[in-house]
Amino acid sequence: MTVFWLVGAALAVAVLGLVLRPLFWQKSKSVSRREANIAIHRDQLRELDADLRSGLLAQADYERARRELEARALQDAAPDSPPAARGGRAMAWTIGAAIPLLALGVYLVTGNPGAIAPQPDPHAVTAQQLEGMVDRLVARLREEPDDVEGWKLLGRSYSVLGRFPEAADAYAKAAARAPRDAQLLADFADVLAMARGQRLEGEPEKLIARALEIDPQNLKALALAGTAAFARRDYAGAAAQWEKMLPLVPPDSEDARAIRTNVQEARALAGNRQVKRELKGKVTLSSKLKAQAAPDDTVFIFARAAEGPAMPLAVRRVKVRELPAEFALDDSMAMAPGMSLSAHPRVVVVARVSRSGTPAAQAGDLQGMSAPVANDAGNVTVVIDTVVK
């Protein structure tokens, strides 16, 4: 049985290498471009979801921004290639994804004489079948709890299915048995953050630090460490972590360009903590709407790009009783790399009275917005004079 496992694993790895070799750049202590992009875009999505929950982003704006982020993630996941080659590359990814599924099926039925029977088309594997295979893998791991690769596979499978708490538990069992596996620790940190409300602070950051102690050049761990630093507004720290990624990717690749952009943005924000460029103005509530607002209602004041993504670039909250209120928005309030006031020369300032206290615009909320202004304008006036329908 052991010989069968070893031979089967070797064949699976060899086939995957042949199928996916054109899709990966090879360099010592590096990971695939796709995995790095997944980590980066997942971190950006984590921050976007957090902004929605915290009330900084309206539901409609969130949905638009998420669609744009997902579209960018799909585009970044594939390197530039002629149109005629893209279909073949997509097929290679499909086959590459199907092979592990087929291998998982074989793994789960090992010892059954029916395992050598003709297998169904791997492209036809359904979510229900995958769930069944995962359940059988769970049962096998109860009998063989020291199978580290099995726990890793279970963690990846749960992650694909969006079952992040179960994925974190599986990775925890793998990490207990392989505490010096840097990539395992980075993957564990990623799914644990997803399971804990998409937040990297706390245990996920500790796992990232351990991964980097073991392998200072682990690309995914560096990406996550930079994102964690950025989230706590340690922009210099974020730039330092992301900059370490540059020697690990081809210098002329899309990865390198994206990393350099994020490094530059983080450095700019770090500099702006000493020299602030502010967008200033005043928000007032129209006299005809005063009776429709309670003193303790929350007022969201935020700037968004006049042309581009709808997600806020900087946000401030006040109460209705504080109106008229002066505001100042700056780059230190940026929520994601590339999404700062400095990155968008023309912006619109929006002020919304949320009667429910939630960020999503609802019927009956009161709102006003400015005309497009420069991102460092000093006398913006916003009058809340419209009822959201």
pLDDT in tens, the chain (389 residues): 443 444 444 444 444 444 344 333 333 333 445 555 556 656 666 766 766 666 666 676 666 666 565 545 444 443 333 333 333 333 333 334 444 444 444 444 433 434 434 444 444 456 677 778 888 889 999 999 999 999 998 998 888 888 899 999 999 999 999 999 999 999 999 999 999 887 898 999 999 999 999 999 999 999 999 999 888 888 888 999 999 999 999 989 999 999 998 999 888 887 765 555 689 999 999 999 999 999 999 999 999 998 877 788 888 999 999 999 999 998 877 766 667 788 788 999 999 999 888 777 888 999 999 999 999 999 999 999 999 98
Q: What is the pLDDT of residue 313?
A: 87
Listed in sequence order, the residues at least 6 apart from 138 whose beta carbon sits closer than 8 Å to its beta carbon are 154
Tokens 């460490």, located at residue: 225
Q: What is the pLDDT of residue 168?
A: 94
For 183, the token pair is 């990539």
Tokens 């700056």, located at residue: 330
Domains of the chain as residue ranges with CATH? 2-272 (1.25.40.10), 278-387 (2.60.40)
Enter the pTM of the model: 0.46
Q: In whole angstroms, what is the distance from residue 378 CA to residue 282 CA?
A: 10
Q: What is the pLDDT of residue 221?
A: 94
Q: What is the pLDDT of residue 22?
A: 39
